[in-house]
Each structure stands twice: as C-alpha cells, then as structure tokens.
C-alpha cells in the first residue's frame, strides 16, 4: 500500500520480441488495475542481462517494450511506465535483500535450473540471484498485487518469504505482495512443442507467435502448429497441442472450452487452426497499429522514460531510505 492506495507492480524483460504468452499471461492483465490502484509497470532491462544481450538490440527492445505497454492500453497518465536501470534503487535494494535470501531458496528456483541448463556456458551469479532483484522491484513500491504468468509464481512466493523475514526482524517495512495469475492464458505453450512454455528467446521462430507478427505470418504459424493424433477439437491432457490452441482461442474470444468444442464439432484441425490464426491476427491488429505510431516517435518515448523514472524514483527512494534507516546505515540530512 502507498498511503490509502493499493499497488500493482509487474515487469517484462526486453530480452526478445514479445510473444502472445507475454501478452495473454501478463501485459493484457495490467490494465484492469489502472483505475483503482497505483500501478508501476517496468521494462526490466537489468534482469535481461542475466543472459548475454547484444547492446544495440537490448537498447532497441527497451524502446519497443515501452511502446508495446502503451499500445496494449496502458495510459502513461494513469500508470507509471519506466525502465528499471533508470531507477538505481532497484539494484541497491537487491543487494540488501541478497543478505536476507538463503542460498538454498535460490537453488530451488525452477527458472534458475532451466536457464542454467540452457546457458551452461554462462551460469553467472546474476542468474542465480535474479529472484532477489525481482523481490527488490516489487517491494520498493509496497506492492499488493503482482499480475504474472504462472511461471513467475514461484519467484513472487519467494519475494513474500523475503518480505516476511525482513518484517520479522524490522517490523512494518514492506507490504507483503500476492501473485495474481489470470485464469486463462496463465501458461501459453510452444506451437512446436506444446509441453514447453512459449518463450520469447526460443530459437525456433515458428514455435512462437510474436505480438508484432504480421497477419500472414500469424496464420501460417498456427497452420503449422503441432497437433495431436485424431481430429477432434477437445480440451484434454492427452491433447496438449489442441488444448494449447483452445486456450489461445478462448483468451481472444472469451468462449469457454465447451463452446469451442461445440463450434468445431465435426470439423477437422485445419478449420480450427485457421480460426485460431485469424482470430489472433484480428485481436492483435489494433495493438500493432498503435504500436507503430508510438515507436515512430522516439523523442516521445524518451520523454515518457524520463517522466516514468522520476515518478518511480520518488517512491523507490522512500522505501530504500526506510530500509537503510532500519538496518542502521548512517543517514546524513
Ligand atoms: N508462455 C507464457 N504464457 C503466459 N505468460 C507468460 N509469460 C512469459 N511467457 C509466458 C509472462 O510474461 C511476463 C514477462 O515475462 P519475462 O519477460 O519476465 O520473462 P519470462 O517469464 O522468462 O518470459 P519469456 O518469454 O520466457 O522470456 P525469456 O525467453 O527471455 O526467458 C511474466 O509475467 C511471465 O510470467
């Protein structure tokens, strides 16, 4: 809570082109808090460097991610939209929280295990302490709710443990946040391997639908999506490919699985995949045209970055100085 107001906080890494997984699992759900809550949505570039990035691409994607936030309906007058590295308190609080996070806790994080297996040549300490930086992001703003996809739930739960541990030693420091996982779209799977999460850093571009893919590409990717044996459109654990496509279709149309099964009764996978592709392309068209306008105005995006960083810094400074005082760091006035 900040004063009387509840706080929503979340972030997305500019580590690749954003996917419909990022959109349906996270960004699309940010807006619902804009009216009632104080909201902070961050482009988490410091998280992105836990994996090697090409500097020019990281810079470009930072602009793009901010533009996408706005194109997805986040009004910068109602939401604080900013870039993580422009608010130095994130890194400072992360160091402090590292001293309140246990080695064993970090070792149990699934994302660390997955990413270390994927980047075996670069298992750096930042990859290991990623959840502590994420805890700092969230706790700096006295956050109540964190809208994320299900893959990030474990990190938010660790953040809660860290906040509770800190509060036990230094009472009243942090609001303890809750993860909010959307009922539909919490985990969109790869189109090439529906047992694997759809990820922006997937090397196989056909496995992933990007928010900015053009209409033909979206339809082509869905046409090629791996489906299961049989030809029946049915939501079931033994049909992970079809079930994933049904989830996507359900997210974009608001239809239930029963309604979808009924709609495609007696029709084959071909008709169904085409419908998913066309619906997704239609739904993303408005976001894409707004995005193109925003991205063309680089100065406007930079002005937004500056404004967002100033707003965020104000609250971040307050929490950090409260923490420093509690710890016994000397404060000069
Ligand atoms: N496939 C997904 N389904 C639902 N939600 C998803 N999210 C990511 N993928 C899916 C949610 O998007 C938000 C931002 O994710 P992130 O940028 O912090 O990184 P991530 O979770 O590691 O996402 P990626 O796409 O897999 O990135 P890379 O490839 O760089 O690791 C989070 O709320 C996440 O849950």
Cα separation of 5 and 228, whole Å? Answer: 48
Ligand 1 contact via 18 beta carbon (within 6 Å): no
Residue 197 annotated to the active site: yes
* Cβ neighbours, 10 Å, residue 63: 19
Single out the residue of 23, 35, 113, 106 nearest to residue 69, CA to CA.
23
**Domains of the chain, earliest start first:** 7-181+298-327 (3.40.50.620), 205-292 (1.10.240.10)
Ligand 1 atom nearest the C-alpha of 13 is: 17
How many angstroms separate the alpha carbon of residue 199 from the centre of ligand 1? 6
Between the alpha carbon of residue 85 and those of residues 14, 122, 139, 305, the distances in Å are: 12, 22, 16, 11
Pair 74, 81: CB distance under 8 Å: yes
| 3-state class (DSSP) for residue 74 | coil
Cross-strand partners of 78: none
pTM for the whole thing? 0.94
Per-residue pLDDT of the chain (333 residues; tens, 9 = 90+): 998 999 999 999 999 899 999 999 999 999 999 989 999 999 999 999 999 999 999 999 999 999 999 999 999 999 999 999 999 999 999 999 999 999 999 999 999 999 999 889 999 999 999 999 999 999 999 999 999 999 999 999 999 999 999 999 999 999 999 999 988 888 999 999 999 999 998 989 899 999 999 999 999 999 999 988 888 899 999 999 999 999 999 999 999 999 999 999 989 899 999 999 999 999 999 999 999 999 999 999 999 999 999 999 999 999 999 999 999 999 988
Q: Which two tokens stand for residue 175?
A: 């609001």
156-187 burial, b for 16+ CB within 10 Å, e for fewer? bebbbebbeebeeeeeebbbbbebbbbeebbb
Pair 23, 211: CB distance under 8 Å: yes
Single out the residue of 324, 328, 327, 316 nearest to residue 138, CA to CA.
316
Query: So what's the pLDDT on residue 188?
Result: 96
Single out the residue of 99, 83, 92 nearest to residue 41, CA to CA.
83
Ligand 1 contact via 147 beta carbon (within 6 Å): no
Nearest residue (CA) to ligand 1, atom 24: 199
Residues in CB range of 294: below 8 A, 6 or more apart: 67, 70, 71, 300, 301
How many angstroms separate the alpha carbon of residue 18 from the centre of ligand 1? 9
Choice from 64, 131, 134, 149 to test ligand 1 binding pocket (greatest atom count within 8 A of CB): 149
Single out the residue of 26, 15, 11 nearest to residue 188, CA to CA.
26
Query: So what's the pLDDT on residue 333?
Result: 80
Residue 200 annotated to the active site: yes
Between the alpha carbon of residue 8 and those of residues 32, 37, 141, 303, the distances in Å are: 10, 6, 9, 23
Query: So what's the pLDDT on residue 183?
Result: 85
Query: So what's the pLDDT on residue 21?
Result: 95
Query: So what's the pLDDT on residue 230?
Result: 83
């Amino acid at each position: 809570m900040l004063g009387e107001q509840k706080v929503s906080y979340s972030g997305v890494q500019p580590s690749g082109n954003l996917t419909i997984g990022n959109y349906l699992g996270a960004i699309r759900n940010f807006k619902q808090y804009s009216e009632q809550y104080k909201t902070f949505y961050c482009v988490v570039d410091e998280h992105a460097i836990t994996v090697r990035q090409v500097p020019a691409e990281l810079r470009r994607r930072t602009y793009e991610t901010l533009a996408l936030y706005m194109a997805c309906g986040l009004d910068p007058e109602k939401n604080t939209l900013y870039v993580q590295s422009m608010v130095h308190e994130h890194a400072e609080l992360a160091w402090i929280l590292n001293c309140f996070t246990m080695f064993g806790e970090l070792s149990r994080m699934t994302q660390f295990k997955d990413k270390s297996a994927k980047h075996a040549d670069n298992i750096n300490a930042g990859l290991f302490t990623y959840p502590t930086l994420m805890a700092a992001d969230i706790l700096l703003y006295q956050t109540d709710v964190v809208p994320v996809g299900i893959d990030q739930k474990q990190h938010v739960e660790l953040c809660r443990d860290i906040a509770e541990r800190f509060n036990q030693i230094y009472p009243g420091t942090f609001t303890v946040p809750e993860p909010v996982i959307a009922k539909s779209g919490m985990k969109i799977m790869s189109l090439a391997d529906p047992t694997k999460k759809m990820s922006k850093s997937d090397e196989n571009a056909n496995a992933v639908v990007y928010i900015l893919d053009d209409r033909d590409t979206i339809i082509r990717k869905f046409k090629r999506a791996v489906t299961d044996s049989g030809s029946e459109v049915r939501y079931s654990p033994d049909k992970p490919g079809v079930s994933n496509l049904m989830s996507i279709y359900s997210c974009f149309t608001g239809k239930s699985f029963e309604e979808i099964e009924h709609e495609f009764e007696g029709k084959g996978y071909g008709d169904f995949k085409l419908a998913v592709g066309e619906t997704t392309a239609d739904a993303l068209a408005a976001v894409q045209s707004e995005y193109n306008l925003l991205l063309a105005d680089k100065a406007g995006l930079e002005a937004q970055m500056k404004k967002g960083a100033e707003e965020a810094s104000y609250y971040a400074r307050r929490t950090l100085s409260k923490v420093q005082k509690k710890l016994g760091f000397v404060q000069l006035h």
